[in-house]
Amino acid sequence: MQCNTALGKYRLLKPLGRGSNAEVFLAQSVYDPSQQVVVKRIHAHVVENPRFRQLFEAEVRSMANFKHPYAVQFLEANIDDPLGPCIVMEYVPGITLEELLRRHRTLDVERVGRLFGFLGHALQAAHEAGIIHRDLKPANLMVTNVGTVHESLKVMDFGFAGFAAKPHIQLAELTGHGPIFAMGTPGYVSPEMIRGDTVDARSDLYSAGIILYELLAGRLPFEYDDQERLLSAHVKEPPPRLSKVGAGHVPPGVEGTIQLLLSKYPNERQQSAFEAVAMYSKALREDLWQRAAPVDWEPELPTAEDYTPQARPAPDLSLDPYRITHEFEAFMPERLAAAKLKGFVDDVGGQVLASEPGLIRLRVGVPAGYKEPTPGSGIFGWLRTRANPSVPRGQEPIEVELHMEKPDPTQPRLSVVVAFCPLKAYPPVSRSGWRDRCDKLNAMLRQYMGS
């Protein structure tokens, strides 16, 4: 890395993590080495979005205007920093709730209730300020003063989930091979996000219910390795009773609080974080809300302008007569789109070539033994071309490009332009037959994407 200083005054010390939108570093002030902060550097593929500056500034205003004792504090930002667009946040010593779970597997009912009180206060304040987290999970919750009477909790990444306007479906999600970033893990996503419904603050309450379930049971309510089946369970399957998964010690009132949070539709759940914490409190006969109340704090409402999506230019897909293009919209979050696309690829026997933000390339119908053309000319280039196996007339391989954008990054809606083109080694013999095959493949893809 050529530059190791952010905003001219924060020296990067070590990486803390990497997600789909940014990489995170621990840093210290060059003027006061005792002051440590967290620096988030936005990934280059996010910056390439033509509306990035508008969205970045709106997100920064939102974060700057939301302050709460139980939320990690925004300090400053610079979109034109030599290091790249950066956001500087408060450094919170402690461990994530994810790490606490790794150490203990489960927590007792009273301790979970106390942590829920802090989380409830942060969510209530954010929701009243018009801010939805959308990515609540143990990795985004920092526990401070761990194991002491002063144990508390802070929520990370409020206002940060909406940066990426180009969906990034990772190659491992399409092939089933390799690591997948934990960011945006489907284990905590609400049913309405999966269905593509309008998402409001009650989506965060569902995620909070999943977290409570995991803290008490030592496992998620739905544990499927297949991502599409996992997402379907959020929408259709009732979560197992805690007593059925080894958590029979949980009082009925706490069980009822969690089961209500995990209702499939928002209007069936508690309607606020305060209401959810109050139900948990009643089960323990302890006022968790009052116990967790921050001292001498008054909420501040945000003044950030609403993000208004603008018309986007269509990608340049050339004028090749054999290049067939279609456009459609898919109403689903990225993780569900990833599961649907993997099913499509598997069922058509496709081969994924690449996946990058906003673009997926794959091939269908490539015969065994096909070799990519290599640079060359003359008789040797001709021999290499002739070495490829033949295919029956009308069954020429098809290369598929999926160009995807999120017109409004805050909504689970994808705008898709799909392009079909032939491989140079297998030119189509019939233009009408080629178009018919591409149209049928597009119809199949739209079925998978629910469009």
**Separation between Cα atoms, residue 364 and residue 385, nearest integer Å:** 19
The C-alpha atoms of residue 394 and residue 371 are separated, in whole angstroms, by 20
How deeply is 203 buried, as exposed, middle or buried, from its count of CB atoms within 10 A (0-12, 13-18, 19+)? buried
What DSSP character marks residue 329? E
C-alpha to C-alpha distance for 278 and 175, rounded to whole angstroms: 45
Triad 75, 76, 82: Cα angle to 5°: 140
CA diameter of the chain: 86
Structure tokens at 173: 């999600």
Residue 404's beta-bridge partner residues? Answer: 416
Residue 17, CA distances (Å) to 115, 211, 258, 440 in order: 24, 21, 30, 43
CA–CA dist 132, 205 (Å, integer)? 10
8 Å CB contact between 303 and 294: no
Rounded to whole angstroms, how far apart are CA atoms 27 and 6?
A: 9
Tell me how far apart the alpha carbons of residues 79 and 376 are, in angstroms, rounded to a whole number. 45
The DSSP call for residue 170 is -
Token couple for 365: 């119908």
From the list 135, 157, 287, 347, the catalytic residue is: 135
Residue with the two structure tokens 């991502």: 227
Is 398 strand, coil or helix? strand
Cα 382 to Cα 389: distance, rounded to the nearest angstrom: 14
Closest by Cα among 422, 432, 425, 405 to 48: 405
* Residue whose entry in the numeric block shows the structure tokens 């999926």: 402
135 is catalytic: yes
Instruction: Give the closest residue to 68 by CA, choosing from 299, 304, 302, 303.
Output: 299
| Catalytic positions | 135
